[in-house]
């Protein structure tokens, strides 16, 4: 049994200075019924907390740490950059290097702008879409999360869904009025909305594989339908690949499903664990961004030498042959093991996965196809499973509505350790 004496002390102090004691709501572990554990360091696929407990890490900092922690190639690249200076506010060669890699690797991206987070990427992409099309409305999907910019806090996923925050306090209704949110995986709903509002809609923004209501897979043909109907109505299609980018394949979801969006938002992995994001797409659209065009967007630390060094080094490792087979092989073994154990202990849950990201929806017996389905999950049961796994040294997302990720550093012993812990957790759930 783990003790968390130092974590508890740090958390009490944190609550005095930081709202909720955390710098991002989902870390507060509110929905899984425990206080957050403070992490001291990470190494390969392991995290070590302030009290010396170790964990197999499946959060990977919510996606970025796809190589695992302290990968030597990333550490040396960032160390080298560090010794040359951390930020100049002037162009540097690493920004060009990272931009070139993104253009080479992400099929639809011809030009790209580097920013500091996924939120900045999506916020800028919809401003660009509105500027380019001269239209006001944005269409998103219930349960998808695109960061915390005002326009997106409408029926959003991730922490908003986890904490059950109603509506969007602090966001003027005029902003909310320009955001339409409809169910994912529902072609009729999209067709009807576009028939009614199409000429006012600047862009459809979507997670091609939503992971912020838990991992939900697009129905066969759905992404093609979205691409087709937006093209036909001069509506820009924005793929928010902050999670799926470089995660489900080297070219992201757009390569995996062979769909070409007009704009793509990236984050997480391209920062290599440092603050980094990007948005890019067709040159004709991207040229509208200042200073080449009138749509304004800026950032003091955009393209920062450390973040670009970490991003380049991360992509260099991901480009190596066999990377995505390795990631997927361990994820499949883990998912199949969890499903077998849940069946053996008669715990009602559904595991949904693609490549190296997955969610086990508790209390579910049918596939979860949209936000309404996801919200029927038994979050209390998830909380029990989460706490039990944490106690046994397995670090899962402290929310039913997030994804678990495998990293390249995950070893087979750690996967077997995880399944042994899961067996004990499932048997406890069966007998509770």
Task: Determine if 118 is a binding residue for ligand KE4 (CB under 6 A).
Answer: yes
Q: Measured between alpha carbons, how far is residue 276 from residues 212, 253, 310 in Å?
A: 19, 19, 9
Catalytic-residue membership of 145: yes
C-alpha to C-alpha distance for 292 and 215, rounded to whole angstroms: 38
Task: Determine if 147 is a binding residue for ligand KE4 (CB under 6 A).
Answer: yes
Tell me how far apart the 2 most distant CA atoms of the chain are, in Å.
Answer: 64
Please pick, from the candidates 11, 62, 184, 222, the single residue that binds ligand KE4 as defined by CB under 6 A. 62
What is the C-alpha end-to-end distance of the chain, expressed in Å? 18
User: 310 or 341, CB closer to ligand KE4?
Assistant: 310
Catalytic-residue membership of 228: no
Query: Which of these, 350, 340, 407, lies nearest to 377 by C-alpha position?
Result: 350
Percentage helix, strand, coil for the chain under 3-state DSSP, each rounded to 5:
45, 15, 40
Please pick, from the candidates 31, 92, 122, 133, the single residue that binds ligand KE4 as defined by CB under 6 A. 122
Please pick, from the candidates 212, 249, 356, 418, the single residue that binds ligand KE4 as defined by CB under 6 A. 212
Query: Which of these, 299, 301, 277, 281, lies nearest to 290 by C-alpha position?
Result: 299
Task: Determine if 208 is a binding residue for ligand KE4 (CB under 6 A).
Answer: no
Shortest distance, position 199 Cβ to ligand KE4, whole Å: 27
Please pick, from the candidates 30, 69, 135, 146, the single residue that binds ligand KE4 as defined by CB under 6 A. 146
Please pick, from the candidates 131, 143, 245, 267, the single residue that binds ligand KE4 as defined by CB under 6 A. 267
Please pick, from the candidates 207, 255, 262, 373, the single residue that binds ligand KE4 as defined by CB under 6 A. 207
Instruction: Map residues 399-418 to x or -, x wherever contact with ligand KE4 holds by CB under 6 A.
Output: ---x----------------
User: 53 or 158, CB closer to ligand KE4?
Assistant: 158
Do 265 and 206 touch, CB atoms closer than 8 A?
Answer: no
C-alpha to C-alpha distance for 331 and 355, rounded to whole angstroms: 7
Structure tokens, 426: 């499932």
Ranges of beta strands (E only) in 100-198 are: 111-115, 137-141, 179-182
Residue nearest ligand KE4 (C-beta atom): 118
Task: Determine if 81 is a binding residue for ligand KE4 (CB under 6 A).
Answer: no
Residues at the site binding ligand KE4, with contacts judged by CB under 6 A: 24, 26, 62, 117-119, 122, 145-147, 158-159, 207, 212, 240, 242-243, 267, 402
């Amino acid at each position: 049994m783990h003790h968390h004496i130092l974590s508890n002390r740090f958390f009490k102090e944190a609550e005095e200075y930081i709202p909720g004691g955390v710098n991002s709501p989902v870390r507060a572990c509110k929905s899984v019924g425990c206080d957050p554990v403070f992490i001291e360091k990470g190494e390969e696929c392991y995290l070590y907390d302030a009290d010396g407990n170790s964990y197999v890490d499946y959060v990977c900092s919510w996606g970025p740490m796809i190589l695992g922690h302290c990968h030597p190639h990333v550490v040396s690249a960032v160390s080298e950059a560090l010794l040359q200076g951390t930020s100049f506010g002037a162009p540097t060669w690493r920004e060009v290097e990272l931009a070139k890699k993104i253009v080479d690797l992400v099929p639809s991206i011809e030009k790209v702008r580097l920013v500091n987070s996924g939120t900045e990427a999506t916020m800028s992409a919809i401003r660009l879409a509105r500027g380019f099309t001269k239209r006001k409305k944005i269409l998103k999907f219930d349960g998808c999360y695109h960061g915390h910019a005002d326009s997106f806090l409408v029926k959003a996923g991730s922490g908003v869904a986890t904490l059950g925050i109603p509506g969007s306090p602090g966001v003027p209704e005029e902003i909310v009025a320009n955001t339409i949110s409809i169910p994912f995986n529902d072609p009729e709903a999209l067709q009807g909305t576009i028939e009614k509002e199409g000429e006012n809609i600047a862009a459809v923004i979507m997670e091609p594989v939503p992971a912020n209501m838990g991992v939900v897979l697009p129905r066969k043909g759905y992404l093609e339908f979205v691409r087709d109907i937006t093209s036909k109505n001069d509506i820009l299609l924005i793929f928010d690949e902050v999670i799926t980018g470089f995660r489900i394949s080297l070219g992201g979801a757009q390569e995996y499903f062979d769909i070409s969006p007009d704009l793509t938002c990236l984050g997480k992995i391209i920062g290599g664990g440092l603050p980094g994001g990007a948005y890019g797409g067709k040159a004709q659209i991207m040229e509208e961004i200042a200073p080449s065009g009138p749509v304004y967007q800026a950032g003091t630390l955009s393209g920062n030498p450390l973040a670009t060094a970490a991003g380049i080094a991360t992509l260099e490792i991901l480009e190596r042959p066999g990377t995505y087979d390795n990631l997927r092989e361990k994820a499949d073994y883990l998912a199949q093991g969890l499903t077998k154990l849940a069946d053996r202990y008669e715990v009602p849950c559904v595991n949904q996965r693609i490549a190296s990201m997955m969610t086990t929806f508790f209390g579910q017996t049918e596939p979860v196809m949209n936000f309404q389905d996801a919200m029927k999950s038994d979050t209390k049961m998830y909380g029990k499973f989460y706490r039990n796994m944490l106690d046994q040294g397995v670090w899962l997302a402290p929310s039913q509505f997030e994804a678990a990720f495998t990293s390249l550093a995950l070893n087979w012993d750690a996967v077997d350790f995880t399944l042994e812990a899961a067996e004990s957790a499932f048997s406890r759930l069966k007998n509770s």
